[in-house]
Amino acid sequence: MTHVGQCRHEELPDMFARENPCVANLPQIKVQDLKEVTEEVVTTTLRRGLNFYSTIQAHDGHWPGDYGGPMFLLPGLVITLYITGALNVVLSIEHQREMCRYLFNHSGKIIFLYFGTLKNEDGGWGLHIEGPSTMFGTVLSYVTLRLLGEGRFGAEGVMEKGRKWILDHGGATAITSWGKMWLFLLGAYEWSGNNPLPPEVWLCPYILPIHPGRDVVSLPNGVFAHVVHIWEEVCWSNYTHNYFFEKGAVHSPLSRSRLESSPQSMCQVADRFYVNHHWDFYKFLSILKHTGICKKIKEYLHCEEDLYYPHSLVQDILWASLHKVLEPILGHWPGNKLREKALCTVMQHVHYEDENTRYICIGPVNKVLNMLCCWIEDPNSEAFKLHIPRIFDYLWIAEDGMKMQGYNGSQLWDTSFAVQAIISTNLGEEYGLTLRKAHEFIKNSQVHVAIEVLEDCPGDLKFWYRHISKVLGHSQLLIMDGRSLIAVLLLSKLSLETVGEPLDMEQLFDAVNVILSLQVWTY
């Protein structure tokens, strides 16, 4: 595999800059003293910047850019593709090589944006590329590299350092619950070591505060937080976990035969990143001790780097009650009848989410989980096949390698900010072509039809816990819709010859209506 810095790929902005060279040759001005800052100097500098920025604009009007950062997204994709047997079918050798390079480049380092770059040679991986090493990030990144073909002693010592970090911090059993879930799916962890996530909560009355559909989180003064959509992904994650946990995905004959016959079997992948290397003893340990009930065991098993906030006594009692009382009841007749109904409800929501978003889903987390659920339901299903091509919407290659982005991009958001910045320079008329292309992109990004009237996504929005969708974007992100609305209003002040036809008033009303509908009324 290619290691750090051995190859460089041209990003999309570089490609557009090469295709659209800047004709104007303005002088570069270096100011030595504040007295030299005149209007002419500022204007010339702004023109130089705008000339360059206009050359890296995409043909459809947006500005492509990297939307990476989290280190836990790519492992979910690779693990899902491995489980479904589609890893080498979907991802070419070049894809896998660049993914490895991305993980290599972010191994054992902390990046401080304002104070330069500081390398941390501990060998681990963080929750994100700028964070310190965590058990969650390190175990998932290590497993991902092994699934992508890296050997235990390969990559110029990167694998050995990562494995040493895991062992020095308590072993992979100290990983967080989300990490335990992925290890369980791979057959490298027992489900008994996870806290139960009962799907029956989806059958509870909506009026109850524990219902997953009640995912609204707000900040003071009626401003909705971006946490709404993060929590929505967690909700999707929870019930998709329940589906394949209860179906016993990794214990199916298909999965078992693949794990036993594959040269990258889980015993090899998980080799030596548990403190105790004996597999049978590990199973015994995971069954008896990993539920977090015993305080001494709980203190031993958690990793300090991952513990942002300790569990309260109430939370521990809740998990223990679910594990010892509720799960045995729902796992046997007649309680299992209720569980079957709950799992059917869960899959209805999974399919509705897939069809409603054209299988791109609301984010990368539930994208791979929904895809895995569809495969478990039927490996040859049309739903699973439709998921495959939308994987590439999330992949981005940059100088540090190939990553899975936080969304399928931030195109609309970036374009809206760019429009506001260009117009604020009072040079908008000079860069009319750039603004016209950006204007067209924003107009084309608006969802013109409400979800309830789409032919392929019928149903009551309240039943599916959805919101109206006539927004300037693919989802009801208030900050995105608001910024886009500001941009189109600013563009409407410029001449039609410069930026083209403005949005219809009805479309503006739709955007405003969505923003107002998201307001939290406080008294």
DSSP string across 457-475: S-S-TTTTT-----SSSSS
The DSSP letter of residue 150 is: -
Does residue 280 sit within a domain?
Answer: yes
Does residue 207 sit within a domain?
Answer: no
Helix (H/G/I), strand (E/B), else coil: 298: helix
Q: How many residues does the chain have?
A: 523
Nearest to 274, CA basis, from 192, 149, 183: 183
Residue 240 pLDDT greater than 60, yes or no:
no
φ, ψ for residue 429, nearest 5 deg? -65, -30
Q: What is the pLDDT of residues 172-201, one digit of tens each?
A: 888 888 888 888 888 788 777 778 878 888
Residue 385: band (very low, low, confident or very high) from pLDDT cuts 50, 70, 90: very high
Residue 301: band (very low, low, confident or very high) from pLDDT cuts 50, 70, 90: low
Q: Which of 404, 428, 463 is the last residue of a domain?
A: 404
**Are 48 and 184 part of one and the same domain?**
no
Does residue 1 sit within a domain?
Answer: no
**Are 366 and 438 part of one and the same domain?**
no
Contacts of residue 447, Cβ cutoff 8 Å, sequence gap at least 6: 469, 470, 471, 473, 474
CA distances (Å), origin 121, targets 3, 145, 157, 376: 16, 19, 11, 40
**Are 444 and 380 part of one and the same domain?**
no
**Domains of the chain: total:** 2
Residue 370 pLDDT greater than 70, yes or no:
yes
CA–CA dist 302, 175 (Å, integer):
7
Q: What is the pLDDT of residues 416-431, one digit of tens each?
A: 999 999 999 999 999 9
Instruction: Give the CATH number for residue 368.
Output: 1.50.10.20
Contacts of residue 315, Cβ cutoff 8 Å, sequence gap at least 6: none
CA–CA dist 437, 27 (Å, integer):
27
Does residue 164 sit within a domain?
Answer: yes
Mean pLDDT of 511-517: 81
Residue 260 pLDDT greater than 70, yes or no:
no
pLDDT recorded at residue 272:
55
The DSSP letter of residue 117 is: E
**Are 445 and 491 part of one and the same domain?**
yes
Does residue 223 sit within a domain?
Answer: no
CA–CA dist 10, 7 (Å, integer):
10
**Are 467 and 510 part of one and the same domain?**
yes
Q: Which of 371, 386, 404 is the last residue of a domain?
A: 404
Nearest to 137, CA basis, from 95, 168, 108, 96: 108
Does residue 424 sit within a domain?
Answer: yes
| The two structure tokens encoding residue 198 | 């009962």
CA–CA dist 223, 464 (Å, integer):
23
Q: What is the pLDDT of residues 116-155, one digit of tens each?
A: 444 457 889 999 988 899 999 999 999 999 999 998 887 7
**Are 254 and 163 part of one and the same domain?**
yes
CA–CA dist 199, 176 (Å, integer):
20
Mean pLDDT for all residues in the chain: 76
**Are 102 and 60 part of one and the same domain?**
no
* CB distance 100 to 447 below 8 Å: no
Nearest to 53, CA basis, from 77, 74, 27, 24: 24
Helices (H), 248-397: 253-261, 266-269, 279-289, 295-301, 313-321, 327-330, 335-356, 364-377, 382-387
**Are 280 and 390 part of one and the same domain?**
yes
**Are 389 and 414 part of one and the same domain?**
no
**Are 22 and 93 part of one and the same domain?**
no
* CB distance 233 to 366 below 8 Å: yes
* CB distance 146 to 264 below 8 Å: yes
For strand 223-224 and strand 218-219, is the pairing parallel, antiparallel, or unpaired? antiparallel
**Are 386 and 415 part of one and the same domain?**
no
Q: Which of 404, 421, 437 is the last residue of a domain?
A: 404
Residue 383 pLDDT greater than 90, yes or no:
yes
**Count of C-beta atoms within a 10 Å radius of residue 39:** 7
Cis-peptide, bond into residue 458, ω within 30° of zero: no
CA atoms within 13 A of residue 44's CA, in its CB half-sphere = 12
**Are 388 and 417 part of one and the same domain?**
no
Using a pLDDT cut of 90, give the percent of the chain over it: 28
Residue 71 pLDDT greater than 70, yes or no:
yes
| The two structure tokens encoding residue 184 | 């369980």
- 507 lies in which domain range? 12-65+410-517
156: left (phi over 0), alpha (psi -120 to 50) or beta: left
CA–CA dist 492, 11 (Å, integer):
32
Q: What is the pLDDT of residues 307-365, one digit of tens each?
A: 888 888 898 898 888 888 888 888 788 888 898 898 888 888 889 888 888 999 888 98
CA–CA dist 41, 74 (Å, integer):
45
Does residue 235 sit within a domain?
Answer: no
CB contact burial 161-175 (16+ within 10 A = b; e otherwise): bbbbbbeebbbbbbb
| The two structure tokens encoding residue 326 | 């509720």
Residue 60: band (very low, low, confident or very high) from pLDDT cuts 50, 70, 90: very high
Residue 268: band (very low, low, confident or very high) from pLDDT cuts 50, 70, 90: low
Contacts of residue 14, Cβ cutoff 8 Å, sequence gap at least 6: 56
* CB distance 227 to 217 below 8 Å: yes
Does residue 228 sit within a domain?
Answer: no
Burial class (CB in 10 A: 0-12, 13-18, 19+), 128: middle
Q: DSSP labels for 207-257?
A: TSTT-TT----EEGGGEEPTHHHHHHHHHHHHHHHHHHHHHTGGGSHHHHH
